[in-house]
Chain A
Amino acid sequence: MKAGLRQSMAWLHTWSGLLLGWLLLAMFVTGTSAYFREEISLWMAPELHHSQPSPDTPALAWAALNAKAPDAKSWDIQLPEARSPVAQLRWQPDTPQAEEGGRRRGEQAVMDAGTGELLSPRASRGGDFLYRFHFELYGVPRIWARWLICVATMFMLVAIVSGVITHKKIFKDFFTFRPGKGQRSWLDSHNATAVLALPFHFMITYSGLLIFMVMLMPWGMNAAYEDGWRGFFQDVFPREEPAAEGGAAMPMVDIAPLVARARETFDQPVRRISVDWPNRDNAVIRVSTAKDPHITDQRRGGNPTLVFNGGTGELLETRPGDEAVPGAFRVYNLLVNLHLARFADPTVRWLFFLFGVGGTAMVATGMLLWVSKRTQQLRGKAPGAALRLVNGLNIASLTGLLGALAAYFAANRLLPVELAARESWEIRVFFLTWLLALGHALLRPGRRGWIEQLAAITVLWAALPLLNVATTDSHLFSATAWRTGALAGFDVVCLLMAATGGYALWRVVRKQPVRGRGPLPQRRTVEDGA
């Protein structure tokens, strides 16, 4: 009976893993990079690299908005912080057209935090493209893509549970890795990356489903609220409505004293300033500071805030931030925050990045194991069409995707700044490179395919820091890159990617297809398993 369960679970694990593995691999790679979404976006906007925060930034932003949109409906200033050296200005024009477009569609500008000059970064989706791809793919209707991602995530959960049941000696083999033994070695490395990181895999999968719980299981909300999720969200995240009409024109007070007051009150740096009906007699200014990040915090808001009368500067309200939330909500917040690493300081963010790399390795070793096992079973015969297809798709989804990612970054530096629809071209370069890699992999689904693609990604990733030297002044040898650690970090990661690709290439090349060790089937494994 027990063997029956294990066998059926092995079957389930093998096939659910294979079918959704390619998608999961893409989700892992883009999701891992999304931990550095803002850093990637910054890297992809060299025009912003020289901005340096100064104590005058709030006043400069205040002046810039007064010049740009003095009679807007609302202003929103995001001050620079560790992950972004610029000030983001957003405003909602007070016109009927802006109203029609919905409340989110305002206008925005990026300001140099040191000089107050408005910057015009090159058009690029930056890290947002990778972040979005992680859970919505690209070019697919959003709702379909999200469902597909959720199905893949559920299969991942199935693969985790069935994988644990399938694993014969989960504790006895906890530390076991037997190198140079073809299928056995792939199985061991799949086990090692899966079992050691099991808490991470389970957390990331389960919390991924939680993020979409409203979409996946809407019935509770639909039963409780007549208008379904809209009513639910209004109750859980009440929205503050500004006064419907702007009053008579009236200049506002200086912002600097209000910022200083908020900083003193909460003993935290000011992060955000928002204004309803600026330069009217009913103007309301909210100055919010940072807060000590906590892992059970809500995803948005909850920052300590002072509310001022815009015309007189009189303090209207002090909000200490973060109301206590009920237990179930805190558990939800805990899991979602872990998934998004929202609370993370740089060290923790790097650790999460490494966990993501581990997850990618876990999926990748599983896919390679599938091919390795079946190649071994051939006992030297030529692989059939199905095996060649799977091997080709493995190459394309692993080295192909990593190559496409490097091409995406390279396109950011190489495409002309004034190119129309430039941000779409960057994404097109990404997909064209991936498509090219897929074609190549399907034509040469074997050792040579691996060798050629590994060589290609090694060159591409190594080229990125060089390209940076040639096209920007914030490269590895510049003070700018090291002042904003993220920029230097990006180039260093590129070099590490190249080194990893080069090492893998060396290992594949060194392993001769025919070598006089072990019985015959293992030699064939080496040939295709790579």
Chain B
Amino acid sequence: MTVIAVTLPLSLAYAGLTALALAMKRHHEAAIGAKPPATRLRAFRVAGWVLMALMVASCLRLWPTGLALSMALGLVTLAGLPLVFLLPYRPRLMVRLAPVLPVLALIATAV
């Protein structure tokens, strides 16, 4: 198992958590600035859970089931910590990283 293989579920967890954070009114206003309509918040929530499901699926591809589910929980932790600290200090960067990181991870995994 190389380090690179883990970047995909990790970045998906980060993107998923970011979407879930943006589905909350307070964080949405802080990070994007606009007052969000309820439909947009719901869209972020759905996107967040879809990304989380993808994250679990990519873990299941990497590891046997028991370990995969354990690691999925752990990777959420690992992705969440930088998110929590980026949110107050660099909210824009936090949002921008969300689509960029999974793409980079996909490229790195494919190479």
Contact = CB atoms under 8 A, between A and B. Distances in A.
A307 interface: no
A202 B107 CA distance: 35
Given A295-B64, A347-B3, A351-B6, A177 B88 contact: yes
Interface stretch (A37-45, A190-198, A312-320): A190-198
Interface of B: 1-3, 5-6, 17, 20-21, 24, 27, 64, 66-67, 70-71, 73-78, 80-81, 83-85, 87-89
Contacts of B75: 351
Given A176-B84, A196-B84, A351-B74, 8 more contacts: A175-B24, A192-B84, A193-B81, A196-B81, A197-B77, A294-B64, A348-B71, A355-B74
A200 B73 contact: yes
Contacts of B24: 172, 175
Contact of A178 (B1, B17, B88): B88
B67 to A, nearest CB: 5
A142 B37 CA distance: 62
B67 A343 contact: yes
A354 B78 contact: yes
A61 B27 CA distance: 63
Interface string A343-357: 101111011101100
Q: Which label, helix, strand, loop or mixed, suits the secondary structure of the A interface?
A: helix
A255 interface: no
B81 A175 contact: no
5 contacts: A172-B24, A175-B17, A176-B87, A351-B78, A354-B78
Nearest to B89: A179
B77 A199 contact: yes
Contacts of B66: 294-296, 334
A196 B67 contact: no
Given A196-B81, A345-B1, A203 B88 contact: no
A358 interface: yes
Nearest to B86: A177
A338 interface: yes
A338 B70 contact: yes
Given A296-B66, A338-B70, A177 B1 contact: no
A358 B1 contact: no
Contacts of A176: 84, 87
A286 B73 CA distance: 40
Q: Which label, helix, strand, loop or mixed, suits the secondary structure of the B interface?
A: helix
Contacts, number: 71
Contact of A347 (B6, B20, B73): B6
Nearest to A196: B80
Contact of B85 (A177, A200, A351): A177
B62 to A, nearest CB: 10
A192 B17 CA distance: 13
A18 to B, nearest CB: 24
Nearest to A352: B74
Interface in A319-369: 334, 338, 343, 345-348, 350-352, 354-355, 358
Interface string A155-176: 0000000000000000010111
A351 B89 CA distance: 25
Contacts of A192: 80-81, 84
A338 B71 CA distance: 10
A153 to B, nearest CB: 20
Given A196-B77, A345-B1, A347-B3, A175 B70 contact: no
A295 B67 contact: yes
Contacts of A354: 78
B82 to A, nearest CB: 11
B50 to A, nearest CB: 18
A247 B83 CA distance: 68
Contacts of A178: 88
B71 to A, nearest CB: 7
B75 to A, nearest CB: 8
A338 B3 CA distance: 19
Which of B21, B76, B77, B89 has the most A CB atoms < 10 Å from its CB?
B77
A355 B77 contact: yes
A178 B75 CA distance: 23
Query: What 8 pairs between A and B have smallest CB-CB spacing?
Result: A199-B73, A196-B80, A197-B77, A295-B66, A175-B21, A295-B67, A192-B84, A345-B1
Contact of B87 (A175, A199, A203, A348): A175
A193 B84 CA distance: 10
Given A175-B21, A175-B24, A175-B83, A199 B3 contact: no
